[in-house]
């Protein structure tokens, strides 16, 4: 039975999983689950993941959710190069240290611009300026900590070699970048880190993975973003209500 | 040099680490960092963790932050029984999955429940609107449903037949709303029975000792104005 990955490449953790699997030549079948088309809430998908979240992995009858858990599982199951998820204890827990901070300060912050600029307007919702400003401040704070505490004098986050932490972080940052935010302006250290990560992954893979998100502004301008099906309105309203 | 753990048992991940270290007889020196006195904001503590957060671990010149990372470090360094964080790939993935989920779901609900119901109004003297409190408690309900329905199901523990880091991290979270006076186990017999099993697995005396502080949080005297001013920005960033 071949490995199946349920992904929506508009979602940043899904892109991290996709890039990791492709870069490491892990054979898998891509099952695209598009939020706007209501796939996430479909009966078929809820049977696989009752949390109705992507990414989801299915390996025979073993089903796993949560991007960090999926990346760790893939790296161990397919014995990918050690640098991704180092076996040396202190190096390994440095990856977890980053992932813990990421869950608090990156996740939930860098995804907001897509909602405020593209997805909320699709269903006629305007996110208040106050919230947009608060998000901007939260992003600036997080970038500073990312640079000072996790990049520091390293080449990669908490490490001299690329790890799971780098792809999780970079795909989050790409979310606002795709919406026209220049997060790397005035941050040469962070910009150099991005270049190192992308050079390691390869330009083609980065572009292929990010095609849809990088086109999202243009699609929004041309009104070619799929109109959400009514079933997903409550879910979208819930997500929008959670924007701090 | 002895292992040092910088903790405040008011914080739920600190309680998980404290219980884990004690239960597994890991020798450590406790460095208490009192959050309600703003000790985490001191220059001395910034030397240990520039992000000014507890828990933090110091093992000689190795400093580590973030509770999950600390728990995994202790697990592997001290070779504790396998059930805490199994070597088996799929069993381990289940623990990782829970730990990732709780971070953005249950964690948020439990923290907000405590602050909206008790710490903001009682300790900091900041009123919380009834609508805000109702939203917070409704969100907590949704997380509890998922904890029971998706993770516990009909198993003895969250990720399998034996207690793991997932259970420890979950129970210490749930004691936050319990400390705020929420009846999280009422009408949830499966979750209540699981709580008994987790308490028995770690030992009731240790469990009680680790939760003394949070169970008295309701009776905190109001903060003095200088402390309030010092703590407010961090509190707002944490619960928004």
Residue B237's pLDDT is what?
Answer: 81
Higher pLDDT among residues B82 and B221, named by residue: B82
Higher pLDDT among residues A36 and A175, named by residue: A175
- Do both B165 and B227 map to the same domain? yes
Nearest to B150 by CA among B93, B102, B184, B104: B102
Indicate yes or no: CB of B89 within 8 angstroms of CB of A67. no
Indicate yes or no: CB of A62 within 8 angstroms of CB of B104. no
pLDDT confidence tier of residue A51, bands split at 50, 70 and 90 = confident
Token pair belonging to B29:
């020196």
Residue A38's pLDDT is what?
Answer: 85
Token pair belonging to B214:
């949070």
* Cα nearest neighbour of B50 on chain A: A149
pLDDT confidence tier of residue B236, bands split at 50, 70 and 90 = confident
- Do both B67 and B88 map to the same domain? no
- Does the structure show a pLDDT above 80 at A1? no
- Does the structure show a pLDDT above 80 at A88? yes
Walk me through the domains of chain A, giving residue ranges and CATH numbers: 4-77 (3.40.30.10), 89-241 (1.20.1050.10)
Indicate yes or no: CB of A100 within 8 angstroms of CB of B64. no
Instruction: Provide mean pLDDT across the span B136-148.
Output: 95
Indicate yes or no: CB of B51 within 8 angstroms of CB of A89. no
The torsion angle over the Cα atoms of residues B61, B66, B69 and B73, rounded to 10 degrees, is 40
A158 and chain B in contact, CB less than 8 A: no
- Do both B191 and B234 map to the same domain? yes
- Do both B142 and B161 map to the same domain? yes
CATH number of the domain enclosing B170: 1.20.1050.10
Chain B residues in contact with A90 by the CB 8 A cut-off are: 62, 73
pLDDT confidence tier of residue A36, bands split at 50, 70 and 90 = confident
What is the rounded distance in angstroms from the CA atom of residue B65 to the CA atom of residue B95? Answer: 19
- Does the structure show a pLDDT above 80 at B1? no
Q: Are B26 and B57 in contact (CB under 8 A)?
A: no
A237 and chain B in contact, CB less than 8 A: no
Nearest to A141 by CA among A178, A175, A163, A110: A110
- Do both B48 and B77 map to the same domain? yes
- Do both B208 and B110 map to the same domain? yes
B5 DSSP β-pair partners: B30, B57
Chain B residues in contact with A73 by the CB 8 A cut-off are: 89-90, 93, 96
Three-state SS sequence of chain A: CCEEEEECCCCHHHHHHHHHHHHCCCCEEEEECCCCCCHHHCHHHHHHCCCCCCCEEEECCEEEECHHHHHHHHHHHCCCCHHHCCCCHHHHHHHHHHHHHHHHHCCCCCCHHHHHHHHHHHCCCCCCHHHHHHHHHHHHHHHHHHHHHHHCCCCECCECCCCHHHHHHHHHHHHHHHCCCCCCCCCHHHHHHHHHHHHHHCHHHHHHHHHHHHCHHHHHHCCCCCCCCHHHHHHHHHHHHCCC
A68 and chain B in contact, CB less than 8 A: yes
Residue B216's pLDDT is what?
Answer: 94
- Does the structure show a pLDDT above 90 at A47? no
Other C-beta atoms closer than 10 Å to the C-beta of B231 total 21
Residue B185's pLDDT is what?
Answer: 97
Domain boundary residue among B49, B83, B117? B83
Minimal Cβ distance to A96: which of B69, B92, B149: B69
Chain A residues in contact with B99 by the CB 8 A cut-off are: 69
- Do both B105 and B224 map to the same domain? yes
Q: Which domain holds residue B203?
A: 84-239
Residue A154's pLDDT is what?
Answer: 96
Domain boundary residue among B55, B83, B111? B83
Q: What tens digit of pLDDT does each residue of B21-52 get?
A: 999 999 999 999 999 999 999 999 999 999 99
Instruction: Provide mean pLDDT across the span A5-12.
Output: 96
Chain A residues in contact with B92 by the CB 8 A cut-off are: 72, 76
Indicate yes or no: CB of A62 within 8 angstroms of CB of B68. no
Three-state SS sequence of chain B: CCCEEEECCCCHHHHHHHHHHHHCCCCCEEEECCHHHCHHHCHHHHHHCCCCCCCEEEECCEEEECHHHHHHHHHHHCCCCHHHCCCCHHHHHHHHHHHHHHHHCHHHHHHHHHHHHHHHHHHCCCCCCHHHHHHHHHHHHHHHHHHHHHHHCCCCECCECCCCHHHHHHHHHHHHHHHCCCCCCCCCHHHHHHHHHHHHHHCHHHHHHHHHHHHCHHHCCCCCHHHHHHHHHHHHHHHC
CA distance B206 to chain A (A): 26
Q: Which of B93, B149, B165 to mutate to test the interface with A (most CBs of A within 10 A)?
A: B93
What's the Rg (C-alpha) of chain B?
18
In chain A, the percentage of residues whose pLDDT exceeds 70 is 100
Indicate yes or no: CB of A73 within 8 angstroms of CB of B104. no
Residue A31's pLDDT is what?
Answer: 96
- Does the structure show a pLDDT above 80 at B240? no
Q: What tens digit of pLDDT does each residue of B92-120 get?
A: 999 999 999 999 899 999 999 999 999 99
Q: Which of A67, A68, A97 to mutate to test the interface with B (most CBs of B within 10 A)?
A: A97
Domain boundary residue among B35, B54, B83? B83
Instruction: Provide mean pLDDT across the span B216-229.
Output: 91
For residue A7, what are the contacts with CB-CB under 8 A and spacing of at least 6? Answer: A14, A15, A17, A18, A30, A31, A32, A33, A54, A55
- Do both B57 and B169 map to the same domain? no
**ipTM confidence score:** 0.96
Number of folded domains in chain B?
2
Q: Are A14 and A67 in contact (CB under 8 A)?
A: yes
B216 and chain A in contact, CB less than 8 A: no
pLDDT confidence tier of residue A77, bands split at 50, 70 and 90 = very high
Q: Are A32 and A211 in contact (CB under 8 A)?
A: no
- Do both B29 and B100 map to the same domain? no
CATH number of the domain enclosing B72: 3.40.30.10
What is the rounded distance in angstroms from the CA atom of residue B88 to the CA atom of residue B141? Answer: 32
Interface of B with A in 166-195 (CB under 8 A): none
Q: What is the pTM of this model?
A: 0.96
Q: Are A161 and A83 in contact (CB under 8 A)?
A: yes
- CA distances to A52, A84, A110, A169 from A87, rounded to whole Å, are 32, 9, 30, 21
- Do both B89 and B191 map to the same domain? yes
Q: Is A196 exposed, middle or buried (0-12, 13-18, 19+ CB in 10 A)?
A: middle
Indicate yes or no: CB of A103 within 8 angstroms of CB of B104. yes
- Do both B195 and B210 map to the same domain? yes
Q: What tens digit of pLDDT does each residue of A66-76 get?
A: 999 999 999 99
B146 and chain A in contact, CB less than 8 A: yes
Residue A197's pLDDT is what?
Answer: 98
Which residue has tokens 């319990």? B178
- Do both B135 and B49 map to the same domain? no
* Cα nearest neighbour of A61 on chain B: B90
Residue B55's pLDDT is what?
Answer: 98
């Amino acid at each position: 039975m071949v490995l199946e990955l349920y992904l929506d490449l508009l979602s940043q953790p899904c892109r991290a999983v996709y890039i990791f699997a492709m870069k490491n030549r892990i054979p898998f079948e891509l099952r695209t689950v598009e939020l706007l088309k209501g796939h996430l809430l479909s009966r078929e998908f809820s049977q696989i993941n009752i949390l109705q979240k992507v990414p989801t992995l299915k390996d025979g009858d073993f089903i796993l959710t949560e991007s960090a858990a999926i990346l760790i599982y893939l790296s161990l199951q397919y014995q990918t190069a050690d640098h991704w998820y180092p076996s040396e204890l202190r190096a390994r827990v440095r990856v977890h240290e980053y992932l813990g901070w990421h869950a608090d300060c990156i996740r939930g912050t860098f995804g907001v611009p897509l909602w405020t600029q593209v997805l909320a307007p699709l269903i006629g919702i305007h996110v208040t300026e106050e919230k947009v400003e608060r998000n901007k401040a939260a992003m600036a704070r997080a970038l500073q900590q990312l640079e000072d505490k996790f990049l520091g004098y390293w080449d990669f986050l908490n490490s001299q070699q690329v790890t799971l932490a780098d792809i999780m972080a970079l795909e989050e940052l790409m979310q606002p970048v795709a919406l026209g935010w220049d997060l790397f302006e005035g941050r040469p250290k962070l910009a150099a880190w991005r270049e190192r990560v992308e050079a390691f992954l390869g330009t083609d893979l980065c572009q292929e993975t990010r095609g849809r998100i990088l086109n999202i502004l243009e699609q929004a301008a041309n009104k070619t973003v799929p109109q959400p099906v009514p079933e997903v309105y409550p879910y979208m309203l819930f997500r929008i209500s959670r924007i701090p | 040099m002895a292992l040092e753990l910088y903790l405040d048992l008011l914080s739920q991940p600190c309680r998980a680490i404290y219980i884990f270290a004690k239960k597994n007889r890991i020798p450590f020196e406790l460095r208490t960092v009192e959050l309600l006195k703003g000790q985490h904001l001191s220059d001395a503590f910034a030397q240990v963790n520039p992000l000014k957060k507890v828990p933090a671990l110091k093992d000689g010149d190795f400093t580590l932050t973030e509770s999950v990372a600390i728990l995994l470090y202790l697990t592997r360094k001290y070779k504790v029984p396998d059930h805490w964080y199994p070597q088996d790939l799929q069993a381990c993935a289940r623990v990782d999955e829970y730990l990732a989920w709780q971070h953005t779901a249950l964690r948020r609900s439990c923290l907000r429940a405590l602050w909206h119901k008790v710490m903001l109004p009682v300790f900091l003297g900041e009123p919380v609107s009834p609508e805000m409190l109702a939203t917070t408690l409704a969100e907590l309900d949704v997380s509890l449903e998922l904890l029971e329905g998706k993770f516990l199901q009909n198993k003895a523990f969250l990720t399998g037949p034996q207690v793991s880091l997932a259970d420890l991290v979950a129970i210490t979270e749930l004691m936050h709303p319990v400390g705020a006076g929420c009846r999280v186990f009422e009408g949830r017999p499966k979750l209540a029975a699981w709580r008994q099993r987790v308490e028995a697995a770690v030992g009731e005396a240790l469990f009680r000792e680790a939760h003394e502080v949070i169970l008295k949080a309701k009776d905190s005297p109001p903060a003095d104005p200088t402390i309030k001013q010092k703590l407010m920005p961090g509190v707002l960033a944490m619960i928004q």
